Amino acid sequence: MDIKSLPKVAYFCMEYGLNSDFKTYAGGLGILAGDYLKGAKDMQVPLVGIGLKWKQGYGEQVIGPDGKPYDAYHNYQYDFLEDTGIKVSVKIRKIDILCKVWKCDNFGNNPIYLLDTDIPENSDTLITGQLYGWFGEERIAQEIVLGIGGVKALRALDIPVDVYHFNEGHADLAAIELIREKMCSGFTFEEAWKLTRDEVVFTTHTPIVQGNESHPIDKLEYMGAFNGLNRAEMIRLGGDPFNMTVAGLRLSRKANAVAKLHAETANKMWKTVSGRSEIIGITNAIHKGTWIDERITKTFEEKGDLLATHKEVKKDLIAFVKERVGVTLDADKLLIGFSRRAAPYKRSDLIFRKPELIDPLLKSGKIQIVFSGKAHPLDDNGKEIVATLVSMMKKYPNAVVFLENYDMNIGKMLTRGSDIWLNNPRRPLEASGTSGMKAAINGVLNCSILDGWWPEACNDGVNGWQFGDGFECNDGIDTAEDLAKLDKHDCDALYDTLINKVLPTYYSNKTKWAEMMRESISSCTDHFGVERMLTEYYEKLYIK
């Protein structure tokens, strides 16, 4: 790509995962956004980020004496943020709210500008308090600041923009501000919508209904999200109730899903939405400098002993676990890693559902499992999943570990030091997933359902394993019978792969294991690196 001729992009996202200490992320969406900006710096493309400065972040989640997760919040200060001296105003509940603009300049020419309402001039300083915190009105207020405030911040900073990229529907209200600007210049709503649509691209991230946010139209009007538009115009954009994904699809010239399979799923999911943009697949990727252990890369490039190097990295993970929870794992025994958001469709506890099979493997130490992950603070089902994993740690004290308060540091240790990376969502509900990519490029072998990114990478028995054979129930699995059928099928398949393929290879054929590690790194490094992803975004989405 010719850097000088590339369109200038403003990338809007609710969260950014830059490092463990900067509490501006909740999970995969933020980690992806952070990797994206790091990749933009590496490639020197003209792209800046727009986000919010979260005072309390997503919160800490610790395990109480009763084995259940509890949330705690702290106020954070960040000395490295630069005060731009700029404040912009948005109206929320007919009250002017000032948004201070901070610059996160870790990326040189690719900074992230973070809006902050926690300043003395505001009557409501808590809008940018908790990431995804509280309920409907507060979420709308946050989205007004991100979207409407974000566009105003770009104008005040005098940053030229050719393309506005909405990474998920939280940023949709930026398009409402773009439409309002054009209508103030004399364009009709239809004309302004068409012109705005030509500037906007949109990424949808999840096939889970709950992950596609919607708001009652009356509540949007009350909060001030109409921003000069009328009710009929807003309903034309997002429906009633106002669905943020639907609006994103109608406000953008082109949209993308985050894997090839996800593109198929998303097009089915939103096929009845009139006037929506085309959804293409651009598979997520990772920033290798952040996630890949240099020792593994060096050994791979020098055609050295990957098993020996991996054992060093694995011992680092074992020491990390010892320090965190006091459990000493065995470097010579198979170690399975599993860390992701605690949500029912991800089935964190699937491996425990046949105790007659897993019990002897855990008690003998032949299998060790390290889990981590947070549940959404308001997700009681997710918290029950975490409690189940903690109970398994008590049942198998030398073989099962749960690391509380999941963050980027834990994710980095697990995706480097595990032997196997386990992933078993209900297909096709995993949009992409990037933790498996991190594991694969570290030579950690994936053992996964054919969902998300893995169908594009898996060469079964060569660079990892698949299980479940891509089995799905009916479109839109929604009955207990369907779920039970799918879970039984996948559970049986997991045990078959684990007992008859993974364990024999690990314990009896180290030569093949080393070959599979090398093939995992070789086959995944380039395609699942952020450079490929950014190139595709420019070629398929940003450049007209």
pLDDT of amino acid 208: 85
Buried b (16+ CB within 10 A) or exposed e, 492-510: ebbbebbeeebbebbeeee
199-217 pLDDT, tens per residue? 999 999 999 877 799 999 9
pLDDT of amino acid 489: 96
Q: Are residues 430 and 471 in the same domain?
A: yes
DSSP-derived secondary structure for 10-57 = EEE-S-----TTS----SHHHHHHHHHHHHHHHHT-SEEEEEE--SST
pLDDT band at 474 (very low <50, low <70, confident <90, very high): low
pLDDT band at 2 (very low <50, low <70, confident <90, very high): confident
Q: What is the domain extent for residue 253? A: 3-286+532-542
Q: Are residues 350 and 335 in the same domain?
A: yes
420-441 pLDDT, tens per residue? 999 999 999 999 999 999 999 9
25-65 pLDDT, tens per residue? 999 999 999 999 999 999 999 999 999 999 999 999 999 99
Q: Are residues 216 and 256 in the same domain?
A: yes
Neighbours of 268 (CB within 10 A): 13
| pLDDT above 60 for 476 | no
Q: Are residues 312 and 244 in the same domain?
A: no
Q: Are residues 108 and 140 in the same domain?
A: yes
pLDDT of amino acid 478: 63
- The least confident of 2-11, 147-156, 315-324 is 2-11
Whole-model pTM: value is 0.96
Share of the chain above pLDDT 90, in %: 92
pLDDT band at 19 (very low <50, low <70, confident <90, very high): very high
Contact criterion met (CB below 8 Å) for 450 and 468 = yes
Give the angle subtended at the CA of 415 by the CAs of 409 and 420, to the nearest 5°. Answer: 150
Q: Domain holding 471: CATH number?
A: 3.40.50.2000
Mean pLDDT of the chain: 96
Q: Are residues 368 and 323 in the same domain?
A: yes
451-465 pLDDT, tens per residue? 999 999 999 999 999
Q: Are residues 394 and 450 in the same domain?
A: yes
Q: Are residues 160 and 216 in the same domain?
A: yes
Q: Are residues 319 and 280 in the same domain?
A: no
Report the distance separating Cα 393 and Cα 151, nearest Å.
48
Q: Could you tell me which of 9, 11, 27 has the C-alpha nearest to residue 410?
A: 27
pLDDT of amino acid 477: 54
Q: Are residues 228 and 293 in the same domain?
A: no
Q: Are residues 250 and 293 in the same domain?
A: no
pLDDT of amino acid 4: 79
| pLDDT above 80 for 1 | no
| pLDDT above 90 for 106 | no
Question: How far lies 213's CA from each of 267, 376, 433, in Å?
Answer: 17, 15, 20
331: helix, coil or strand? coil
Q: How many domains does the chain have?
A: 2
- Average pLDDT of span 305-324: 98
95: helix, coil or strand? strand
Share of the chain above pLDDT 70, in %: 99
Neighbours of 484 (CB within 10 A): 11
